[in-house]
Amino acid sequence: MSHILHQPSLPAIGQTPAAHSDFSDTARWATVALTDSQNAPNYLPGDVLVIDLEVTEYRYDAMYAVEIDGEALIRFVQHRPGGLYVYALSGIYEGRTIPRAALRVLGLVTYANKLRRVG
């Protein structure tokens, strides 16, 4: 089982990637322990997500911490012709398309630690 599920996108050819953070910069990195199964089966209660708080706008299709109607959520965001499609993995067809300007991005989910109990 891999502990790192998401990695930052690869740099463009000819660019040198920035060194990975040691995660001690609490102004940049946050951890969130999931308490619901909205993104099951990939992410379940108890999984810990590492969020890059420097990412405050949509960059590419990925999993983000977003605020919708005043509620902070972990959601997948995809670019679609009519705007951005925001959905939970367990309800991929129940998402909604919203204008890019209406989405408040709190951070980009960069890593996930899936802790599973056996038995």
pLDDT (0 to 100) of residue 27: 82
pLDDT tens column, 70-99: 889 999 999 998 899 999 988 878 899 999
Greater pLDDT, 6 or 56: 56
pLDDT tens column, 27-36: 888 888 888 8
Least Cα distance to 80 among 57, 105, 101, 61 occurs for 61
pLDDT tens column, 8-23: 455 555 555 565 566 6
Beta strands in 1-119 (DSSP E): 29-33, 48-52, 62-68, 71-80, 83-87, 96-98, 104-113
The proportion of the chain whose per-residue pLDDT surpasses 90, expressed as a percent, equals 34
